[in-house]
Structure 1
Amino acid sequence: METFDVVIIGAGLSGVGTAYHLMHRCPTRSFVILEGRDVIGGTWDLFRYPGVRSDSDMHTLGYNFKPWKAAEAIADGPSILEYVNETADENGIRDRIRFGHRVRKADWSSADATWAVEADCDGKVVRFACNMLLLCGGYYDYENPHRPVWDGERDFKGTVVVPQFWPEDLDYRDREVAVIGSGATAMTLVPAMAMGGARHVVMVQRSPTYVVSLPSRDKIANFLRRVLPDRLAYAITRWKNVIRVSRFYRISRRKPERVKTLLLRLVRKALGPEFDVEKHFTPHYAPWDQRICLIPDNDLFDAIKSGQASIRTEEIDRFTDDGLRLASGEVVRADVIVVATGLRLQVLNGLSLSVDGRTVNAPDHLSYQGMMLSDVPNLILTFGYINASWTLRADLTAEFACQVVNELERTGNRQATPRLTEEAMREMPLKPWIDCFSSGYIQRAMHRFPKQGDRDPWRNTQDYLADRKSLKGAPIADGVLQLSNPQGS
């Protein structure tokens, strides 16, 4: 069994970034990254469907320590993958990764303040020991997307594709395509496949989603890069975008009807007065009750206006031999059907965890700072924002993890455990870990996630500025996060 101070799970965007922070903030601490796949990149290597790209700007999706230098602020998947690999190679992180190590379980022993971690590798169980366990393996199940089943699927004579497992040899040129879904993946696929040679692409959605178009290139960012050093230009652009997104979210929550009117006016301007925006782009919920879909340069709207793509907003009755029959009886002809119906969230990176032999059942615990679990020592979970770029919170979480590691070393302690008093537990109302967000992929999974309370530090906010303010410079030993040593040590 190999022993390290820290074990990081996952070598994607979060894991590589966390490794960087550890190397620079905790240079005396040893660590290893355990990655189940054979390559760096996580999501950005796994997803290979046409048009795969970021759904937020790269000045906030990028790391706080590595400037994004490309002209495109809304970047394609290969460019993001290159950015993550470049980060790993520039900092010697690749040498710290054990590829092909799929972690299945971790058991904490309070007797020696150690996590015993088990990973599958080439059909064998490989064991590691560490004091601190950092879960950076992302938020969704790589192997099991959300995949509804419809009547008649076996009757369909064409090809059915799930974006998460896109076949490299799929040729959809000059073929009729139906894309089922209305989220970010569907919004990406429709214009990409239309421009990629499909005869026609139909997006079949049960209900509409709010959509906003932004330029793929940030003129201010590109100007600043020409006249300022890269790091300064990046920092200014990053803060510009953080504040812009934060203000837009807050206005959306305070004045939803005003924001709804604005969003729909922009869609009408892009599609013209003849298009039925009410039916196809007007959701029944308020802006930011679900994530607003970002599209670059009006690409979806342009595909619709050109006649290369169209939308049907209706329930699917069943598959037929040559397409989809909708509830109205209309048949959408298709040679290829893409089922872009969403992801399946994964709690605690899919690991089985225990503390002193007792299974950690996430819903029985409260979230501390959105990063740790009550009564679970030395475990830190990276889970990004749902209303902003993932990496904003990933960076904060990594910095917090480094603070905890350093404070334990400084004080001579080995355990950091969030503790909730019995009185507080009785009195504090509990809420879902992600509250006030109605997206199906969230609602389907919240019963498996930790709870949150109604006061700090037990709230799981979706507010980067508030989180940054509360975490920067705050004492680690805050009276809730208790530092200690094993009994008898």
Structure 2
Amino acid sequence: MTAKHYDIIIIGAGLSGIGTACHIAREHPGKTLAILERRDTVGGTWDLFRYPGIRSDSDMASFGFNFKPWYSDKVLAEGEDIRNYVAETAKEFGLFDKIRFGLKLINADWSSKDQRWTISALQEVSGEEQLFTCSFMVNCAGYYNFDHGYRPRFPDEEAFRGAIIHPQHWPEDLDYRGKKVVVIGSGATAITLVPAMANEAAKVTMLQRSPSYIMAMPNTDKISMVLSKFLPEKWVFNMARRRNILFQRGLYLACQRWPKPMRKFLVSHMRKQAPNVDERHFSPTYMPWDQRLCAAPDGDFFACLRSGKAEIVTDAIERFDETGIVLKSGGHIGADLIVTATGLDVQLMGGMTLNIDSQPVDLTRKMSYKSILIQDIPNFGWIFGYTNAPWTLKCDIGGQYLCRLFAYMEKAGVSVATPVDKGNNVSDRGLLDEFSPGYISRAKDRMPRQGKAGPWMLVMHYGRDKETLVNAPVDDGILQFEAAIPASSSDNLEYRNATA
């Protein structure tokens, strides 16, 4: 089987993949580039999730790409708007011709002898296996399992006469008008679903095992609306982006430095937003930013609680019965439809296995380097965004770093770059040990590690990361470089075929 060769292959055509590809296409137009995507369109997560109200929980001034400003008076964008934004960006940078859709990735194997990756993929429609080779591979597949979310089994759920659905696989023709709906969960998905369904459903009940922190925030950027009357649009956008980044960082640091006062502030905020709701439904058991804060644009979640269109129940599930859910307390919630907003299932690299010279790589024993490369793995980038700020902030500077790395390697006449730990930095800390939502806690045994110091530590700090990735020297004494091997005539022919 003939493999198509490219200089760079990006895994995934979501926000991370398209953003990274834009940087490479702009800074290194002479390099051959392919994007391998399992779905049949771009957008990744934002194309997968189609439940009512799906939207970002980060402001679009800082969530959008820094090279393509998101001009809108609206703060939080809806899922469809984000999908269109990703597609528009891909079209603007001429990326659609570089995307290979419908490919489920099976395995990637690095050959030290040939200094290249060989990627095997399955064309899911035809069942045909396809091979690709590349000099550098960049994983932008995120860490969600696109096949299924986290769906615990509940006792006697087969007895329930209504429908049970997970938001990750929302039926297009689902009609919940006039029905009693129970949403199990208290995370961002549940906080989005409840107000989105409340206007059409007879009643929506959010059943939570424990409360989350929820912030009501204005969904219109009135400051930028006023400034745009006097200043150029780009200036207004840049000011909004800087302002929002500083606000997000300040809120996070305040929660980390003064957890008890910030807990008191956020709990008071929630209780004031819905004074008719029992206080115990707004009393989280964890400290702020141990898990991501939930956003309620224009306080829509609290508004539907005040109006009586929705309610919160804090309890544990005993079992399901024919008409709803029996609670541990002995209570009962009637339902026609149950939505299990119970979280996500973590899967790295879209389920693809990784080998070096045919030997399996155990990522759980490898450290992340600048959270962009992985210890001892040659020519392998991994774009991993922020959990305490907009994901794409890290994607943008990560893409810039990779472009700087490619430029350095070309100038130095080397073809392989590998992060090597020379200072015994190995620790027992997982990549996201400080972040504790359920889907991360369930997947700690699948995640890479972080080290004791330096570039092996995950800092989750945009300012420090920007200095490290955009300004600091590429050759820091940790990256180990190898000179290029002579290319054979067959390699040259293969390369020309890929560029044709």
Could you tell me the TM-score, scaled by structure 2's length?
0.94
For residue 52 of structure 1, what is the aligned residue in structure 2?
A: 54
Counterpart residue identity of residue 17, structure 1: G
Where in structure 1 are there 5+ consecutive unaligned residues? none
2:415–2:484 CA contact under 8 A, matched in 1: yes
How far residue 275 of structure 1 moved from its aligned partner, in angstroms, is 2.4
2: CA distance between counterparts of 1:429 and 1:44?
Answer: 35
For residue 143 of structure 1, what is the aligned residue in structure 2?
A: 147
1:136–1:349 CA contact under 8 A, matched in 2: no
2: CA distance between counterparts of 1:111 and 1:346?
Answer: 30
For residue 152 of structure 1, what is the aligned residue in structure 2?
A: 156
1:106–1:118 CA contact under 8 A, matched in 2: yes
For residue 165 of structure 1, what is the aligned residue in structure 2?
A: 169
1: CA distance between counterparts of 2:467 and 2:8?
Answer: 26
DSSP-derived class of the 1:452 partner: coil
Counterpart residue identity of residue 9, structure 1: I
2: CA distance between counterparts of 1:222 and 1:398?
Answer: 31
Which residue among 229, 234, 238 is the counterpart of 2:237?
234
2:142–2:348 CA contact under 8 A, matched in 1: no
The 5 Å alignment of 1:303-342 reads 303-342=304-343
Counterpart residue identity of residue 48, structure 2: L
For residue 112 of structure 1, what is the aligned residue in structure 2?
A: 114
How far residue 463 of structure 1 moved from its aligned partner, in angstroms, is 1.1
DSSP-derived class of the 1:472 partner: helix
For residue 212 of structure 1, what is the aligned residue in structure 2?
A: 215
1:29-78 CA deviation, whole Å, 9 max, x = no partner?
11011111111111111111000000111111100111111221111111
Of stretches 101-110 and 48-57 in structure 1, the one that deviates more from structure 2 is: 101-110
- 1:128 matched to 2:129? The reply is no
For residue 494 of structure 2, what is the aligned residue in structure 1?
A: none
1:2–1:129 CA contact under 8 A, matched in 2: yes
Percent of aligned positions with the same letter in both sequences?
43
How far residue 486 of structure 1 moved from its aligned partner, in angstroms, is 5.8
2: CA distance between counterparts of 1:161 and 1:222?
Answer: 40
How far residue 234 of structure 1 moved from its aligned partner, in angstroms, is 1.7
For residue 442 of structure 1, what is the aligned residue in structure 2?
A: 440
Counterpart residue identity of residue 132, structure 1: F
1: CA distance between counterparts of 2:312 and 2:387?
Answer: 26
2: CA distance between counterparts of 1:230 and 1:418?
Answer: 42
How far residue 175 of structure 1 moved from its aligned partner, in angstroms, is 0.3
1:7–1:32 CA contact under 8 A, matched in 2: yes
Counterpart residue identity of residue 83, structure 2: L
For residue 184 of structure 1, what is the aligned residue in structure 2?
A: 188
For residue 498 of structure 2, what is the aligned residue in structure 1?
A: none
Counterpart residue identity of residue 109, structure 2: D
How far residue 26 of structure 1 moved from its aligned partner, in angstroms, is 1.2
2: CA distance between counterparts of 1:404 and 1:128?
Answer: 22
1: CA distance between counterparts of 2:426 and 2:131?
Answer: 39
1:348–1:381 CA contact under 8 A, matched in 2: no
DSSP-derived class of the 1:32 partner: strand
For residue 496 of structure 2, what is the aligned residue in structure 1?
A: none
For residue 345 of structure 1, what is the aligned residue in structure 2?
A: 346
1:143-168 CA deviation, whole Å, 9 max, x = no partner?
12110000111100001111000001
For residue 22 of structure 1, what is the aligned residue in structure 2?
A: 24
Which residue among 473, 487, 497 is the counterpart of 1:475?
473
How far residue 428 of structure 1 moved from its aligned partner, in angstroms, is 4.6
For residue 459 of structure 1, what is the aligned residue in structure 2?
A: 457
Of stretches 467-476 and 133-142 in structure 1, the one that deviates more from structure 2 is: 467-476
DSSP-derived class of the 1:436 partner: coil
For residue 295 of structure 1, what is the aligned residue in structure 2?
A: 296
Q: Structure 1 99/428 Cα, relative in aligned 2: closer, same or farther at 3 Å?
A: closer
1: CA distance between counterparts of 2:223 and 2:411?
Answer: 43
1:477–1:483 CA contact under 8 A, matched in 2: no
- 1:405 matched to 2:406? The reply is yes
Counterpart residue identity of residue 370, structure 2: Q
For residue 69 of structure 1, what is the aligned residue in structure 2?
A: 71
1:379-402 CA deviation, whole Å, 9 max, x = no partner?
111111111111011111111111
How far residue 114 of structure 1 moved from its aligned partner, in angstroms, is 0.3
1:156–1:322 CA contact under 8 A, matched in 2: yes
For residue 432 of structure 1, what is the aligned residue in structure 2?
A: 430
How far residue 290 of structure 1 moved from its aligned partner, in angstroms, is 1.0
1:112–1:486 CA contact under 8 A, matched in 2: no
2: CA distance between counterparts of 1:311 and 1:63?
Answer: 37
Where in structure 2 are there 5+ consecutive unaligned residues? 488-500
Counterpart residue identity of residue 161, structure 1: I
- 1:198 matched to 2:201? The reply is yes
1:290–1:437 CA contact under 8 A, matched in 2: yes
2: CA distance between counterparts of 1:315 and 1:485?
Answer: 60
2: CA distance between counterparts of 1:83 and 1:456?
Answer: 35
1: CA distance between counterparts of 2:227 and 2:346?
Answer: 38
How many residues end up aligned between the 2 structures?
483
DSSP-derived class of the 2:147 partner: coil
Counterpart residue identity of residue 459, structure 2: T
2:55–2:76 CA contact under 8 A, matched in 1: yes
2:186–2:211 CA contact under 8 A, matched in 1: yes
How far residue 229 of structure 1 moved from its aligned partner, in angstroms, is 3.0
Q: Structure 1 12/428 Cα, relative in aligned 2: closer, same or farther at 3 Å?
A: closer
How far residue 228 of structure 1 moved from its aligned partner, in angstroms, is 3.0
1: CA distance between counterparts of 2:262 and 2:31?
Answer: 48
How far residue 481 of structure 1 moved from its aligned partner, in angstroms, is 1.0
2: CA distance between counterparts of 1:488 and 1:75?
Answer: 50
DSSP-derived class of the 2:456 partner: coil
Which residue among 218, 243, 248 is the counterpart of 1:245?
248
- 1:267 matched to 2:270? The reply is yes
2: CA distance between counterparts of 1:120 and 1:471?
Answer: 34
2: CA distance between counterparts of 1:244 and 1:209?
Answer: 21
2: CA distance between counterparts of 1:25 and 1:418?
Answer: 23
1: CA distance between counterparts of 2:484 and 2:319?
Answer: 60
Q: Aligned-pair RMSD on alpha carbons?
A: 1.4
2: CA distance between counterparts of 1:454 and 1:212?
Answer: 34
Counterpart residue identity of residue 284, structure 1: T
2:51–2:193 CA contact under 8 A, matched in 1: yes
1:111–1:486 CA contact under 8 A, matched in 2: no
